[in-house]
Amino acid sequence: MRLFLRYEPEILRFVLAIVPQLPDARDIVQETAVALWRRFDAYEPERPFGAWACGYARIETLRFLRRAHQRTQLSAQAALALMRSESARAGDDELREQHLAECLRALPLEHRRLVTDYYFEEKPVEALAGEHRRTIEAVYKTLQRIRQSLLKCLQRKMTEART
Amino acid sequence: MTPDDRENLIHRHLDGIATAAEIETLSHLLETDEAARVRYLELSRLAAALRCDLRLRAAPLVVTVVPMPAPPRVAPRPAPGWLAAAAALLVCAAGIWWSLRQPHLSGPVIAEVTAVHDARLAGVGPAPVVGERLAMQELRLERGEITLRLDSGVRLEFLGPVAAEFEHAMRLRLDRGRLNADVGDRGKGFTVVTPSGNVIDLGTRFAVDASGPERAGVVVFSGQVQVQPLSRQGQPGTKIGLSEGEAVQLVRGASPERWQSVPLRASPAEALAAGGRDDVSPLAVHDNLADAEQRRFYGVVRGGMVPGARAFTGVEAPAWQAVPGLSFPEELVGADVVRTFLTDKRRVDFTLTLALDGPGYVYVLHDIRRPPPAWLAHDFTDTGARVECGPWDPQVNIVASDAPPRGDRVFLACSVWRRVVPQAGIVTLGPPRDPGVPGRNMMYGVAVRRVP
Whether the CB of B175 is below 8 Å from some CB of chain A: the reply is yes
Strands B360-367 and B298-301: unpaired
Question: In this structure, are residues B150 and B184 in contact, taking their beta carbons and an 8 Å threshold?
Answer: no
Whether the CB of A83 is below 8 Å from some CB of chain B: the reply is no
Cross-chain residue pair B59–A86, CB shorter than 8 Å: no
CB burial readout B301-319, b (16+ within 10 A) else e: bbebbbeebbbbbbbeebb
CA–CA distance, B86 with A6 (Å, rounded to integer): 10
Mean pLDDT of B36-57: 76
Comparing CA positions, the residue from B414, B342, B405, B341 lying closest to residue B376 is: B414
Whether the CB of A87 is below 8 Å from some CB of chain B: the reply is no
Whether the CB of B59 is below 8 Å from some CB of chain A: the reply is yes
Cross-chain residue pair A115–B55, CB shorter than 8 Å: no
For residue B125, is pLDDT > 60?
Answer: no
Mean pLDDT of B73-79: 38
Mean pLDDT of B15-28: 87
Question: In this structure, are residues A51 and A91 in contact, taking their beta carbons and an 8 Å threshold?
Answer: no
The torsion angles phi and psi of B84, rounded to 5 degrees, stand at -65, -45
CB contact set of B132 (below 8 Å; sequence gap of 6+): B67, B112, B113
Q: What is the pLDDT of residue A1?
A: 57
Q: Taking CB atoms and an 8 Å cut-off, how many pairs form between chains A and B?
A: 165
Q: Report DSSP letters for chain A, one per residue.
A: -HHHHHHHHHHHHHHHHH---HHHHHHHHHHHHHHHHHHGGG--TTS-HHHHHHHHHHHHHHHHHHHTTTTT---HHHHHHHHHHHHTS---HHHHHHHHHHHHHHS-HHHHHHHIIIIIS---HHHHHHHTT--HHHHHHHHHHHHHHHHHHHHHHHHHHH-
Angle at B444 between CA B410 and CA B397, to 5 degrees: 45
CA–CA distance, B245 with B296 (Å, rounded to integer): 5
Query: What architecture (CATH level 2) is domain A93-162?
Result: Orthogonal Bundle (1.10)
CA–CA distance, A150 with B285 (Å, rounded to integer): 44
pLDDT band at B292 (very low <50, low <70, confident <90, very high): low
Torsion, Cα B354 B357 B359 B363, to 10 degrees, reads -30
For residue B66, is pLDDT > 90?
Answer: no
State the DSSP code for B175: E
Burial (CB count <10 Å: 0-12, 13-18, 19+), residue B28: middle
For residue B358, is pLDDT > 60?
Answer: yes
pLDDT band at B124 (very low <50, low <70, confident <90, very high): low
Comparing CA positions, the residue from B246, B250, B207, B242 lying closest to residue B224 is: B242
**3-class DSSP assignment, residue B364:** strand
Cross-chain residue pair B45–A104, CB shorter than 8 Å: no
Of A44-58, B173-187, B275-289, B296-310, the one with minimum mean pLDDT is B275-289
Angle at B67 between CA B105 and CA B107, to 5 degrees: 5
Helix axes of A76-87 and B34-48: crossing angle, nearest 10 degrees = 80
CA–CA distance, A9 with B119 (Å, rounded to integer): 40
ipTM: 0.83
Residue B275: which region, alpha, beta or left (left: phi > 0; alpha: psi -120 to 50)? left
Whether the CB of B306 is below 8 Å from some CB of chain A: the reply is no
Whether the CB of A108 is below 8 Å from some CB of chain B: the reply is yes
Whether the CB of B23 is below 8 Å from some CB of chain A: the reply is yes
Burial (CB count <10 Å: 0-12, 13-18, 19+), residue A4: buried
Mean pLDDT of B382-409: 84
Tell me which chain A residues have a C-beta less than 8 angstroms from the C-beta of B17. Answer: 140
Question: In this structure, are residues B295 and B246 in contact, taking their beta carbons and an 8 Å threshold?
Answer: yes
Question: In this structure, are residues B375 and B362 in contact, taking their beta carbons and an 8 Å threshold?
Answer: no
Comparing CA positions, the residue from B369, B385, B393 lying closest to residue B316 is: B393
Q: What is the pLDDT of residue A95?
A: 75
CA–CA distance, A99 with A17 (Å, rounded to integer): 19
**Cis peptide bond upstream of B69, omega within 30:** yes
Of A120-129, B120-129, B408-417, B423-432, the one with minimum mean pLDDT is B120-129
pLDDT band at A97 (very low <50, low <70, confident <90, very high): confident
Best mutation target, B25, B51, B136, to test chain A (most A CBs within 10 A): B51
For chain A, the domains span 2-87, 93-162
Cross-chain residue pair A109–B175, CB shorter than 8 Å: yes
**3-class DSSP assignment, residue B17:** coil
Best mutation target, B39, B50, B91, B167, to test chain A (most A CBs within 10 A): B50
Which residue of chain B is at minimal alpha-carbon distance from A84? B37
Instruction: Say how many CA atoms lie within 13 Å of B67 toward its Cβ.
Output: 9
Whether the CB of B5 is below 8 Å from some CB of chain A: the reply is no
**Residue in B23, B52, B59 closest to A73 by CB:** B23
Q: What is the pLDDT of residue B447?
A: 96
For residue A19, is pLDDT > 80?
Answer: yes
Strands B336-339 and B410-421: unpaired
Cross-chain residue pair B58–A115, CB shorter than 8 Å: yes
Burial (CB count <10 Å: 0-12, 13-18, 19+), residue B69: exposed
CB contact set of B251 (below 8 Å; sequence gap of 6+): B196, B214, B215, B229, B257
| High-pLDDT (> 70) share of chain B, % | 83
Mean residue pLDDT across chain B: 82
- Which residues face B145 on adjacent strands? B117, B159
Whether the CB of B61 is below 8 Å from some CB of chain A: the reply is yes
| Helix %, strand %, coil % of chain B (to 5) | 20, 40, 40
For residue B198, is pLDDT > 50?
Answer: yes
Considering the four listed CATH numbers 1.10.357, 1.10.1740, 2.40.128, 2.60.34, the one that applies to the domain covering A2-87 is 1.10.1740
Mean pLDDT of B358-383: 95
- Segment (H or E) for B153: none
Best mutation target, B10, B29, B30, to test chain A (most A CBs within 10 A): B30
For residue B309, is pLDDT > 70?
Answer: yes
